[in-house]
Amino acid sequence: MNPQQQVRIAVLGAGTVGTEVIRLLRTGKDDLSARLGASVVLEGILVREGEEPRDPIVPAELFTTDGFGLVSRADIVVELLGGLEPARSLVLAAIEAGAGVVTANKALLASHGPEIYAAADAAEVDLYFEAAVGGAIPLIRPLRESLAGDRIRRVLGIVNGTTNYILDKMTTDGMDFDTALAQAQELGFAEADPTDDIEGYDAAAKAAILASLAFHTRVSIYDVAREGITGITAQDVASATSTGHVVKLLAIAEETDTGITVGVHPTLVPLAHPLASVAGSFNAVFVEAEAAGELMFYGRGAGGLPTSSAVLGDIVAVARHRVAGGLGPRESTYRSLPLADPGDVVTRNQIRMVVVDRWGVLAEVARVFASQQVSIETVYQVPGRTTDGTAELLVTTHAATVRALAATVSGLTGLDVVDRVESVLRIEGSQ
């Protein structure tokens, strides 16, 4: 080790993840220095005005509220502030000053990724973001390094631990949505304001990052079709179980004949599928590649310790490049595929509806499906759900476009014999 050479690290944010990163940097300083061949120096920690340290491991003497001054004197800037500003401005300032950047900020990359990638390329500095998707799960590196010579066809997975915990509790313990959400908040899996998680914004940001890497095409969060889980009821979960499925919030990105599609949707996953068994707050992502075939990445997708592990791995990678010279992988947008029309996406679906319980109803319902060329796979009348002269039907379709399905649902709601359409859920897999 060259004791004269130093790698100066600035940490922006001392929240849950920031505290754990600082802990690892301080307690593992000697080991890290030996790995890098240079001395690791914690240059400073950006905090908000008047913020107090939440853990003795965070040295208060390194606190500063001058973010721009801090990044100007660092070799590596670790951005753990979250949100868009001042994170964006500080990251760009760090890049302009010649610092490598490590970030866990999926919202920043999903919204301003192209600007930040371009700045890093122009300045010839590293930009690493393993912790932005999947916490400790090694996912970003395999996509942009290990599978760089392959062609990825599809990426799908559970990328939000909060929603997976809620849906898992609704399935295994019979909780309703509100009860499961309250428990998730009590355990710290969900924020006091859980909107980003339960409405699918968090998963959509991660889906945009994964799609960008997988298809070598710039995809932003604004390109992602998004649906959260607030509309999922105990009846939806029970119906899924009765047909051999479990409800999961999936991020799905795939290449089609007309371009790429990226979306986040509550989805019925067959019980035989490996994603069906992903429980609690765990994450799992499936990658389908042309040569490698099916790959699955599984682990804890959130929390201070798992996320800090991924952040520290990025710090080591960037620091090694700093010491030895050279850069890591750059942004790849050579394919620049178009975004396919969301209405052209082909899926199977399960429609749950309440109809008048009398003869001839099924024929009228079937005519609506036929008018949109949506083929019915099965029809199942749920026993004992209604007692007021109505019946609950579960209709499973063969593969059809989203556009045709929407027209079908519109037609069904216009029938006198249909009291209401309760839910429409996609089914993973096609037939």
Considering the domain architecture, whether residues 308 and 367 belong to the same structural domain is answered as no
Write down the pLDDT at residue 331: 87
Q: How far apart are CA 135 and CA 42, in angstroms?
A: 23
Rg of the chain, C-alpha, whole Å: 24
Are 287 and 155 in contact, with CB atoms under 8 Å apart? yes
How confident is the model over 198-209, as a mean pLDDT? 96
Are 180 and 162 in contact, with CB atoms under 8 Å apart? no
Q: How far apart are CA 143 and CA 15, in angstroms?
A: 28
pLDDT at 233 over 50: yes
pLDDT in tens, 353-403: 999 999 999 999 999 999 999 999 999 988 876 667 899 999 999 999 999
**How many domains, in total, are found in the chain?**
3
Task: Tokens for 122, please give them.
Answer: 């122009």
Write down the pLDDT at residue 364: 95
For residue 376, is it within any domain? yes
Considering the domain architecture, whether residues 9 and 129 belong to the same structural domain is answered as yes
Considering the domain architecture, whether residues 278 and 201 belong to the same structural domain is answered as yes
Considering the domain architecture, whether residues 94 and 155 belong to the same structural domain is answered as no
- Give residue 232's identity as a one-letter amino acid code: I
pLDDT at 430 over 60: no
Considering the domain architecture, whether residues 280 and 396 belong to the same structural domain is answered as no
Considering the domain architecture, whether residues 89 and 209 belong to the same structural domain is answered as no
pLDDT in tens, 136-193: 899 999 999 999 999 999 999 999 999 999 999 999 999 999 999 999 999 888 888 9
Q: How far apart are CA 112 and CA 101, in angstroms?
A: 15
Domain boundary among the residues 271, 290, 324 is at: 324
Give the contacts of 285 (CB within 8 A, at least 6 positions apart).
134, 137, 139, 155, 156, 157, 158, 159, 210, 296, 297, 298
Considering the domain architecture, whether residues 218 and 308 belong to the same structural domain is answered as no
Residue with tokens 């700045």: 119
pLDDT at 98 over 60: yes
For residue 334, is it within any domain? no
Task: Tokens for 421, please give them.
Answer: 């359409």
pLDDT in tens, 58-89: 888 899 999 999 999 999 999 999 999 999 99
Considering the domain architecture, whether residues 315 and 346 belong to the same structural domain is answered as no
Considering the domain architecture, whether residues 263 and 314 belong to the same structural domain is answered as no
N- to C-terminal Cα separation, the chain: 60
Q: What range does the domain containing 361 cover? A: 342-427
For residue 100, is it within any domain? yes
Share of the chain above pLDDT 90, in %: 78
Q: How far apart are CA 65 and CA 59, in angstroms?
A: 14
For residue 331, is it within any domain? no
Write down the pLDDT at residue 339: 94
pLDDT in tens, 257-312: 999 999 999 999 999 999 999 998 899 999 999 999 999 999 987 777 888 999 99
Write down the pLDDT at residue 408: 97
Write down the pLDDT at residue 56: 80
User: Is residue 206 annotated as a catalytic residue, yes or no?
Assistant: yes
Write down the pLDDT at residue 211: 96
For residue 219, is it within any domain? yes
Considering the domain architecture, whether residues 254 and 383 belong to the same structural domain is answered as no
- Indicate the range of 209-218, 346-355, 386-395 predicted with least confidence: 386-395
Give the contacts of 174 (CB within 8 A, at least 6 positions apart).
234
Write down the pLDDT at residue 387: 66
How confident is the model over 127-135, as a mean pLDDT? 92
pLDDT in tens, 6-39: 999 999 998 889 999 999 999 988 898 888 888 9
* Residue from 29, 106, 169, 206 carrying the catalytic annotation: 206
Q: What is the CATH number of the domain that holds 65?
A: 3.40.50.720
Q: What is the CATH number of the domain that holds 168?
A: 3.30.360.10
User: Which band of pLDDT confidence, cut at 50, 70 and 90, is reported for residue 48?
Assistant: confident
pLDDT at 431 over 60: no
The DSSP code sequence of 286-318 is: EEEETTTEEEEEEEE--SHHHHHHHHHHHHHHH
For residue 99, is it within any domain? yes
> ∠ at Cα 354 (350, 359), nearest 5°?
105
* pTM of this prediction exceeds 0.95: no
For residue 330, is it within any domain? no
How confident is the model over 225-239, as a mean pLDDT? 95
